[in-house]
Amino acid sequence: MDTIVALGTPAGRSAIGVIRLSGPDSLSIARSIVGENYFKPEPSQPVLRSIKGTASNSILDRALLTFFPGPNSYTGEDLVEISCHGSPIVLRQVIDLTLGLGARPAGPGEFTLRALSNGKMNLTQAEAIRDLINAQTEAAAQQALRQMMGELSSRLRRPQQALIHTIVQLESALEFVEDDLPELKRQDIVGELTEVASDLHNLASTFEVGHLLRDGVRVTIVGRPNVGKSSLFNKLLAFERAIVTEVPGTTRDTLTERLGLDGIPILLTDTAGLRESSDRIESIGVERTRQAMAEADLLVVVLDGSEDLRAEDLSALSQAKSARHIVAINKSDVASFDTLEKSRPSYEAGSVNVSAVTGFGLETLRAAILEPFVAGDSPNAGFLITDARHYDLLLRARNEVQSSWELLQRGASEELVLIGLHNGLRFLGQITGETSTDEILSEIFATFCIGK
């Protein structure tokens, strides 16, 4: 195994930048860069040393070095962390110095991959580290932390053990081919497989909400010019992101910002008003609005509730009809809003009365945005499956167990029943990495950041 090096903190200027070395030559490289042949600090105890260049033995920086001897390190092998001042120039010089001494640049997630290979964690815990780093909301971070602490592995242990127990019983029955499986034993196995299939189904069903914590929801605000789209956009964000004027067509391009609603990451987009225009720039903006509409998970169609519907409003509603959408009837603070409310049509997608000026109805609008996705389930309610890979393998495992259950009910031979049980156990093993191939691992770790 060679020695790898990478910057463990984000690129750019900072107070501190951490460089990580992992592998058999980590300590010898550390000795070389500090110029001490017998340098070996106490494990996990930072020590202050000068980092020396090779050309003229000049000092590059004063840094803290921390040695973590294997197997008691993050990667399970000798690991050194060098905490330098966060100058990109200094960090680059130190990394180049280590490369000249035999280290090589680490690939994406290679430190964590080594931890996995050395038994420091399983695959679900490794993936959780990536998800924790990428978490966009507190709820997403909390779910990733629970998985990193082994909760998914723990929840899979019961169905795995039940499958192993059932497989052992059926394999044993095959050793005595002259004896049929007793009916009472057969019914016990049927009951056990029923529980396993139910456990896997219940766990997989949490993905409907769980995947939103990772992927988020793309919400696009649309409508004709001057109905208050940008004002509503700013109000939802709680800061003045979009320029707002009384001049129709002020917004010429799409604006996108992130926010969290009840733990769900929302990618909120403000758009140019939908209308026909001879202005070339505005026409380009309208085209981008249509593109944003096509990419959205949910459209919020904004209407001006202080005026009668115009042809452009009807056009916006028509364009949104084929997509998931809700209607926000704005300007409830204007006197004519109440007068027109009785004559206002009802909308099949549902509507919310709001005021982008006073903030009236904003909480109702936030709830309406989430409703099509969470169906009343809170992402803070319990442990959730957030990864599509885990979800797919859970469904495959459940289907195999269900198939074996049906075969057993029909009195099929043990050989046929065992096929599905072995497949189900293999799929569960792929979740935790017990039976994963190198190709699967390469695909997963390609999504990690370098230095982790």
CA 213 to chain centre: 6
Alpha-carbon gap, residue 241 to 264, rounded angstroms: 21
The CATH class given to the 125-206+385-445 domain equals: mainly alpha
Alpha carbon distances (Å) from 56 to 35, 59, 60, 88, 349: 12, 9, 11, 21, 73
Task: Check residue 234 and give its pLDDT.
Answer: 87
Long-range contacts of 124-130 (CB under 8 A, 24+ apart): 124/150, 124/152, 124/153, 124/390, 124/431, 124/432, 124/433, 125/149, 125/150, 125/153, 126/433, 126/444, 126/445, 127/387, 127/444, 128/152, 129/452, 130/447, 130/448, 130/449, 130/452
168-223 residue pLDDT tens? 888 877 665 555 566 667 778 888 889 999 999 999 999 988 888 888 889 999 88
If DSSP codes are grouped into helix, strand and coil, which group holds residue 229?
helix
Ordered DSSP codes for 88-129: HHHHHHHHHHHHHTT-EE--BTHHHHHHHHTTSS-HHHHHHH
Q: Give pLDDT, residue 378.
A: 59
CA distance 150 to 197: 21
Report the alpha-carbon distance of residue 452 to residue 450 in Å, rounded.
6
pLDDT along the chain (452 residues), means of 10: 93 92 95 89 94 80 95 95 94 94 93 93 92 88 91 92 87 64 72 91 90 88 87 85 60 79 88 76 79 89 88 86 89 81 78 88 90 68 88 95 88 84 93 79 82 83
Q: What CATH number has the domain spanning 214-374?
A: 3.40.50.300
The predicted pLDDT at position 377 comes to 56
In this structure, CATH architecture of domain 4-106: 2-Layer Sandwich (3.30)
So where are the chain's domains?
4-106, 125-206+385-445, 214-374
**Residue-wise pLDDT tens digits, 375-413:** 655 566 688 899 999 999 999 999 999 998 888 888 878
